[in-house]
Amino acid sequence: MNNEIAFKPYIHRFSLLILLGLLYPGYTPHVVQAETTSIPENLYLDELDLEKTECGWGHTTARKTVDGNPLRLNGKVYERGVGHHAPGRILVALPVIQGRFRCEVGIDDETDGRGHAEFLVYGDGKPLWRSGFVKGGETAKICDISIDGLKQLALVMDSGPEGYALDHGDWLDARFEIHGASGRENPATQSIRTLSPGAVIMDDTGMEIERSDEAACEFLALSRELAKGIDVFRAGQSLRPEAIFLNTDRDPVDIVLRRTRALMQDLRTFENGPKLTGEEKQLDGLDAKNQVTDLNDTPARQALFAEVVSLREKIALQNPLLDFSDILFIKRHVTPEPEKQGNHMCDQFFGFHATKGGGLFVLKHAFDPSRRSVGNLLENSKVESGRYKNARLDSSWGFLAPELSFDANKILFAATDTASRRHSYIWSDDNCYHLFEVNADGSGLKQLTDGPWNDIDPCFLPNGRIVFVSERRGGFGRCHARPCPNYTLFSMLPDGGDITMLSPHETNEWAPMVDHNGMIVYTRWDYVDRGFNQAHHPWITFPDGRDPRAIQGNYSEDERSRPHFETSLRPVPDSPKLVGTAQPHHGQYFGSIILLDPNVPDDEEGGEPMGSLRRVTPEQLFPEAENAAHRDAANYGQPFPLSEDYYLVAYDAFSGMGKGHVNNYGLYLLDSFGNKILLYRDVEISCQCPIALKPRPVPPVIPHQTLVGLPPGRKASIETTADDEAIVQTLPERAEVGVMNVYETNRPFPENTKIKELRIVQILPKTTTHANVPWIGYGNDTGARKVLGTVPVQEDGSVFFEMPVDVPVYFQALDEDGVAVQTMRSSTYVKPGERLTCLGCHEGRQSGTSRFTTFPAAFRKKPEPITPEMDGSNPFNYPRLIQPILDRHCVQCHETEAKVGKTFPLDRGDMDLPRSLDPRRHFFESYVNLRPHVFVFKGVYQNRMPELMNPLPNDGTAWNSFAPARTFPGKFGANASPLWHLLKSGHYEVRLSPAEMRAMALWLDNNADFYGAYELETLDAQRRGETVLPGLE
């Protein structure tokens, strides 16, 4: 079509010449010799593969914006072009051609005049054109440059100093005009293609560095890190001082020389360690050379740097800890922005976000560069069992979470078929991760799990079972603008049978691993009356699911002083410590490497938030806590410890949380001195989850003390039949819980406080998909709850009672008036057959039992049953629990006084009007008006809405980012509510009965909720005061 249009003027001219010849036979036209330049062939940028591009947010999109809208600039709609976002880069390989690149650029109209970015074009690493910074609403800038003889063209978007928000850029009518081309079959046209930005790095001057040149890449990375520096706080938290930057560091050569020397000296301390005499002489020579090499002679400094890192590799690979040959790992694309395509701590593990490519691999002879090779472990394997029997798990699948058995003979991993519709948020058997097992030689490939649930993070247990994470528990996250199912701990037999829920926690859990003591260490999102961004940290539980406890990080007072999220935890050999990754909430499992000592107190008792943590990689900021979510670097991931100082890791010096597939993590040998030795990189796809392919000691088998999830070969200790359903029915519905002394607490109760009861409150999993849909009460993205009741506390502070199994609950210590003095903001639970014992009420984590000299009084009797509380507490219901009290004592007077403006009404409002998003019609008039007089756990950054909650969100918006984590006795709930003190001291002639005061205290102590069930179709019934049971327990 383009050629046809281009030839029309010539056709018209030729017709005119014929006509003149016919009219004037003697006419001889003057013939002008035509130029030999051929008519150009256009190839549009939007015809290329845009998956291989770098985009600061969302996806680089053909013929649409990054938000999926038509391309529009200053009201003009463009049919051709590419939607892009800063910071971003489109790298194009060119054949040897003659031609031009032409386009218009600008910030798309969809930003409503916002956004501020610059467009740049580089050819073979040299700047060819720049737009200058443009803003939303400005006219298009025109780019028209020659591409004669160029091999690569880089189209770059750079954000302004204020950040990258709304930098929705358009490359409009972007095309390559190729001279000498003849049709789309011409090799010159066909060979124009996009390159993976992971294959080429652009330095700060626009020069390109091949990713295969590791020394040049490291020189650039260190130069940038040195320019940023490391602040005094991070430096003080560093595991080793060598890993920080010193005032004497002039450039990367200085850094790598001293770090190499520290490595060499450390290796010599090993028993049977290398002598390194020759290497030391070489290092001394390079040190001397460094002193005389001009600091301003960049090529000479880079050449010297390359010499040092070559020697460093030689030294590092003599590490005695490298007593194995092969490394197990996966290849897997990092999921792109936005969250709905997988760039989130939850969504990254949804099967429909997986991208084809990659697989399960072994790096053979990993520490011998001359013999190093990579093999696809599943290349010749077919699935031998399950629905996928006879299928090949090839590169059309997505892979996740490999784990090695203790004897190194078997491998567990998760995989999903990527052929189904992507990013659908519709769960099916075909688009979820399922668990597989394969022998270490690639034989015996078996499918272990199936179904419309994502099953991930498998791990072998010492007793023969397998622990993993699954969505089978049910329920959804409370703060998402999309469906995000909860996934928690499960276990199963080695053949995939007897799948048992270990944890009924009502929010997400991740990455179970077995520590040296045989306990399960994992990450839990603790989200009871807290913000969404604050508590996803290490927990520990028995292999049968008993007694979950926080290890560290559950009481932070702000979200900037410590990691947002600690995950990928592994026990360090010959050490009580754990290594893990400090990752973002709004991102994936990459970030900074941390070393955790569980024996060091942290901020649980008011100590230092980082007290038990050390930064192994201090140059990497904690993602989202110390840098920007969705965008900034998260360079490290999935550490596999060889010792406290040496690790296998996934690493990308040029990563970005919003770069998606452009991220190119390789496998490295990392040490705590700051050295990183590349072992393997595939420039087309990230390599992740390295595991030393060697046996390791089997931790002790902890006796199984529940009646479910039994180890292989063990029979249940209760009467059962062969019918699985009958077995379930015969399991006990309650288990025993004891507290030795509620007065044992790390924060003393107010003086003369007498604790008389313990209240048990159940947290309900959310059954609706979007945040604050529905809004439950005053709290933002808060959880619905029901009060199971109370049990008595003995004079000595002991408690012994029965509690329903597999129900997430929290406890409250009540005084003589039935008012909570202390509350949990976490959940616990019991399993069938378990007896759970606590020392006290929020006792210190390091507390022991030595100070208990007498047998607790409660333990001398049978366990107490739970005594139900008043009507309207189970399930929670303000219209049944509180409004009748107001009707009896408050409504009439307030109605009269409200008419003359002296107070506010406390009635239900107009119940004839349908419920709506107006707070007074979603709740009651009284509920809205009482808000200023009620204590609510709420986030520091929560209240973008006015105190009277207007308007309510209806789009799944969550605002409660972070709430102060510590609960101080007597300073929350009723005790912190002006309404309670008004009622206690007397308000005119109002005198509530003891039962009414108790009801009021119960409501105030539990975040003063209105509704007790999430199901939208039940809200009208709940508002009418009807008893509505929750849809999921």
Instruction: Give 340-374 as a DSSP string.
Output: GGT-STTGGG-GGG--S--EEEEEETTT-TTT-EE
455 domain-assigned? yes
Q: Residue 376: its pLDDT value, please?
A: 97
DSSP tag of 621: P
On whether both 1013 and 909 belong to a single domain, the answer is yes
Q: What share of the chain is helix, strand, coil (3-state, %, to 5)?
A: 20, 25, 55
On whether both 135 and 66 belong to a single domain, the answer is yes
Domain extent for 933: 878-1023
The tokens describing 426, both together, are: 């519709």
Beta strands 359-364; 636-641: pairing state: unpaired
DSSP tag of 648: E
4 domain-assigned? no
On whether both 466 and 578 belong to a single domain, the answer is yes
Using the 3D structure, point to which of 287, 316, 345 is the last residue of a domain. Answer: 316
On whether both 592 and 635 belong to a single domain, the answer is yes
Q: Cα-Cα-Cα-Cα dihedral of 993, 998, 1003, 1007, to 10°?
A: 130
The tokens describing 461, both together, are: 């247990």
Q: What is the CATH number of the domain that holds 654?
A: 2.120.10.30
User: C-alpha distances in angstroms, 23 versus 27, 30, 32, 945?
Assistant: 9, 17, 22, 84
140 domain-assigned? yes
Q: Is residue 834 within 8 Å of 895, Cβ to Cβ? A: no
Instruction: State the Rg of the chain over Cα.
Output: 33
On whether both 253 and 162 belong to a single domain, the answer is no
On whether both 190 and 243 belong to a single domain, the answer is no
On whether both 851 and 887 belong to a single domain, the answer is no
On whether both 409 and 549 belong to a single domain, the answer is yes
Q: Residue 515: its pLDDT value, please?
A: 98
Place of tokens 């597989």: 436
Q: Residue 851: its pLDDT value, please?
A: 66
Q: Is residue 839 within 8 Å of 741, Cβ to Cβ? A: yes
Using the 3D structure, point to which of 265, 291, 316 is the last residue of a domain. Answer: 316
Q: Residue 40: its pLDDT value, please?
A: 62
Nearest alpha-carbon partner for 274 in 327, 307, 321? 321
421 domain-assigned? yes
On whether both 291 and 338 belong to a single domain, the answer is no
715 domain-assigned? no
Place of tokens 């892979």: 399
Run of H or E including 728 = helix 724-730
Q: Residue 186: its pLDDT value, please?
A: 56
5 domain-assigned? no
**What does pLDDT average to in each consecutive run of 10 residues of the chain (1033 residues)?**
33 35 40 42 91 82 94 96 91 88 96 93 89 94 94 88 85 90 55 80 81 95 92 91 94 98 98 95 98 96 98 98 98 87 92 92 98 97 97 95 98 93 87 97 98 98 98 94 95 97 96 98 92 87 96 81 93 98 95 95 73 95 90 94 98 90 93 98 95 98 95 69 52 94 90 96 95 87 93 96 97 97 94 93 63 86 97 96 96 92 93 81 92 79 36 48 81 95 91 96 96 94 95 90
514 domain-assigned? yes
Q: Is the peptide bond before 951 cis (omega within 30 degrees of 0)?
A: yes
**Number of domains making up the chain:** 5
Q: What is the CATH number of the domain that holds 813?
A: 2.60.40
On whether both 543 and 582 belong to a single domain, the answer is yes
Alpha helices in 743-882 (DSSP H): 878-881
On whether both 109 and 175 belong to a single domain, the answer is yes
Q: Residue 217: its pLDDT value, please?
A: 95
Query: Can you give the length of the chain in residues?
Result: 1033
Nearest alpha-carbon partner for 1023 in 949, 937, 886, 912? 912
Q: Residue 21: its pLDDT value, please?
A: 41
Using the 3D structure, point to which of 297, 316, 335 is the last residue of a domain. Answer: 316
DSSP tag of 130: E
Q: What is the CATH number of the domain that holds 82?
A: 2.60.120.1060
On whether both 855 and 989 belong to a single domain, the answer is no
866 domain-assigned? no
